[in-house]
Amino acid sequence: MLKKISAIGFALVTTLATIPTVYAIEGDLKDLRPDVNKKEWQLVKNDTTRSIKTYIREGDGKRINFKVDAMIEGTLEAVARVHFDVDNIKHWYWETLDSRLLKKVSSTEYYYYMQYNAPVTMPDRDAILHAIVEPYTAKKGYMQLTIRAVPDYLPAQASLVRVQEQDMTVKFTPVGKEKVHLEAEGFVDPGGIAPTWAMNFVQRNAPYSTMLGLQRRVNMAENTAKTEPSPFAYME
């Protein structure tokens, strides 16, 4: 009898252990099926607990295309301050080794630098980014941040590959007083040689991980006394 129970238990454990693998294989095969239009946005992550959805779509082989739809717990001011605190972006943005403000043009325009830890076997990347802020107005109902890469703004460093494109639009819409609906869409050309597996890995993981980091940072910002004015205008 004990031998029979042991055999059944072993079979059950073996079956359960294979379930994640089966689902992983199913996920990989989905991309190969003819009914999947890779030119359309494909849902990659749907975290209903944290209200985060991320999407990808096929590019031209050089670009990482992404879209995010997330609900961030926090005020518009806190979410905006986290984005404007450029020197601390490295503490929440995907695999960021360094981030710093290069030039403040005005209360709605600035240039900044970011350095990224690239996947294994690849040299690290850096990017020079130009940001334009469209402050929130009651009539418009949202704040918008438009970011464009300007790779020639500073000379390239010998040990790093310069990101050629990192263009995105991020829309922040307050929902009541304590939530912000964040919608982001954009693409990245990491420059240099980037194998397909690395592009796919970043495309599928970076947006979701960044949203988790953003939420953690917003929670910290909400609990920190605002002793200084925002460096950039988030509201008219």
Question: Which tens digit of pLDDT belongs to each residue from 67-115?
Answer: 999 999 999 999 999 999 999 999 999 999 999 999 999 999 999 999 9
Residue among 201, 123, 195 nearest 162 (CA): 123
How does pLDDT run across 137-187, given as a tens digit for each residue? 999 999 999 999 999 999 999 999 999 999 999 999 999 989 999 999 999
User: What tokens does 81 get?
Assistant: 């301050």
CA distance 146 to 144: 7
The mean pLDDT of the chain is 85
CA distance 200 to 190: 12
- State the residue for tokens 């454990």: 13
| pLDDT score for 223 | 61
| pLDDT score for 12 | 35
Between residues 13 and 167, the one the model is more confident about: 167
Q: How confident is the model at residue 13 (pLDDT cuts 50, 70, 90)?
A: very low
pLDDT above 90: residue 29: no
| pLDDT score for 158 | 92
Between residues 220 and 185, the one the model is more confident about: 185
Phi and psi based region of residue 176 (left: phi greater than 0; alpha: psi -120 to 50; beta: remaining) = left
Q: How confident is the model at residue 23 (pLDDT cuts 50, 70, 90)?
A: very low
Overall pTM surpassing 0.75 (yes/no): yes
CA distance 34 to 205: 24
In three-state secondary structure terms, 91 is: helix
DSSP state of 162: E
pLDDT above 90: residue 121: no
| pLDDT score for 179 | 97
| pLDDT score for 221 | 76
Quickly count: other Cβ atoms within 10 Å of residue 130's Cβ: 18
CA distance 229 to 3: 72
The CA distances from residue 141 to 60, 100, 138, 181, 207, in Å, are 34, 29, 5, 11, 24
In three-state secondary structure terms, 82 is: helix
- State the residue for tokens 């403040």: 104
Half-sphere exposure of 52 toward its Cβ, with a 13 Å CA cutoff?
19
Strands 179-189 and 165-175, by their bridges, are: antiparallel
Between residues 46 and 224, the one the model is more confident about: 46
CA distance 145 to 132: 6
DSSP state of 193: -
What percentage of the chain reaches a pLDDT higher than 70? Answer: 80
| pLDDT score for 224 | 66
Residue among 68, 71, 103, 101 nearest 83 (CA): 101
Q: How confident is the model at residue 37 (pLDDT cuts 50, 70, 90)?
A: low
- What are the beta bridge partners of residue 47? 52
